[in-house]
Amino acid sequence: MTYKKITLHRGKESSLERFHPWVFSGAIAQFDNSIEEGDLVSVYTHDAKLMGNGHFQIGSIAVRMLTFDDTPIDTAFFVQRLTNALNVRKALGLLRDDNNSFRLVHGEGDFLPGLVIDIYDGTAVIQAHSPGMHFARHTIAEALMQMPGNLLRNVYYKSETTLPYKAQLDPENQYLIGQYDTDVAVENGLKFHVDWLKGQKTGFFVDQRENRRLLEQFSHGRRVLNMFCYTGGFSFYAMRGGATLVHSVDSSAKAIKLTRDNVELNFPGDSRHDAFAEDAFKFLDNMERDAYDLIILDPPAFAKHKSAVKNALIGYRKLNAKAFEKIQSGGILFTFSCSQAVSKEQFRLAVFSAAAQSRRRVRILHQLTQPADHPINIYHPEGEYLKGLVLYVE
């Protein structure tokens, strides 16, 4: 099957020969006049060889490739890709009685550029990052229901904040299939409410699942400070791990309420936990020295674009320096960056500068990354975004 035609400049097919999933606008020599944003297109070399099919978008990434042959992009295509993605999650052991939340589709990492799907019990939450995936949303919802195993009851579409603003698609967050029934999902035996209607991203940060489990192992007997807690994920793992005290901080009052509700869901009436709606930087400035011996710093992406990297690195240095200054000797620091534009090396250097500035002796115990249900397409290393360090601070 072929679609409206895009022809590349001579030689510009080389990245597609290496299965890189993007065509940049500068690589395009010619396109059909009738092509509109979000259309399916077929990409050809200058000498008319078909390279594959993808979604067209106005902007520097002009085409996100879905196939490298002439396979039609229809319901059967999506059922196949989604089933393959599900098989990977099954192989990872993520579908269990005590775990029903995971990322089913991680964009390029699952060979579906522009698409993210998280599963929370029987509900799939779809996020489109490209107009093409927005237009395909009903097909994708149908394909989700056709995956083997009868996993899903509901499909919720949540792309109001993820689609390019300029595309003027006016997406409406809505149920494409089913309706609200429960908002409680389970991760490694811990329950949590997911607010996919109003929460950030798809409602929960599934990408910290394995790192939370590691934190649980470090928590016994420790006083834990969970900065930028959002739904309190790290907090309730720390409590299960035997922390003596857990304080959660987020500048959003809504996040604090979610955290309190989630702690209550797992540990009703447990007085070890408290939560504060405060700015993280101010909280760190005002807190006593040695009040905590396990601190988590998991801020929002400080750099959304390459142009913001320099300031982001200053932000990471300042934030980490404050934690190094205050943490009890023998303490553990879990520190993260989820900015895709900041490299592992840059982040490490920012944390290293913070350690030097605070004159603490610091060991790197673990180097963390995104979990396996957020896979990195081997042909698209840009997909690596989450970076973390577990540090022992003397």
Minimum Å distance from CB 258 to ligand SAH? 9
CA dihedral sign of residues 159, 34, 73, 25: negative
Select the span of 35-43, 169-177, 297-305, 361-369 touching ligand SAH (CB under 6 A): 297-305
Give yes or no for residue 259 binding ligand SAH (CB under 6 A): no
Measured from the CB atom, is 79 or 389 closer to ligand SAH? 389
For 79, the token pair is: 């059922």
Minimum distance of ligand SAH from residue 31's CB (angstroms): 39
Of the candidates 251, 340, 353, 369, which one interacts with ligand SAH according to CB under 6 A?
251
Is 252 near ligand SAH (CB under 6 A)?
Answer: yes
User: Does position 298 bind ligand SAH by CB under 6 A?
Assistant: yes
Residue from 22, 120, 205, 316 binding ligand SAH (CB under 6 A)? 205
Kindly identify the residues of this chain, within the stretch 209-238, that bind ligand SAH according to CB under 6 A: 228-231, 233-234
CA distance 32 to 63: 14
Residue 199 lies near ligand SAH (rule: CB under 6 A): no
Closer Cβ to ligand SAH, 181 or 279, answer by number: 279
Q: Which is nearest to 111 in space by CA: 385, 370, 369, 380?
A: 380
Phi, psi of 35 (to 5 degrees): -70, 130
**Residue 250 makes contact with ligand SAH by CB under 6 A:** yes
Q: Quick one: 144 or 275, whose CB is closer to ligand SAH?
A: 275
Q: How many residues bind ligand SAH (CB under 6 A)?
A: 18
Active centre residues (catalytic) = 338
Q: Sort residue 38 into left (φ over 0), alpha (ψ -120 to 50) or beta.
A: left
- Classify each residue of 55-83 as buried b or exposed e, where b means 16 or more C-beta atoms within 10 Å of its C-beta: bbbeeebbbbbbbbeeeebeeebbbebbe
Q: Which residues pair with 120 in a beta bridge?
A: 101, 123
Of 139 and 252, the one with the shorter C-beta distance to ligand SAH is: 252
Q: Is 22 helix (H, G, I), strand (E, B) or coil?
A: strand
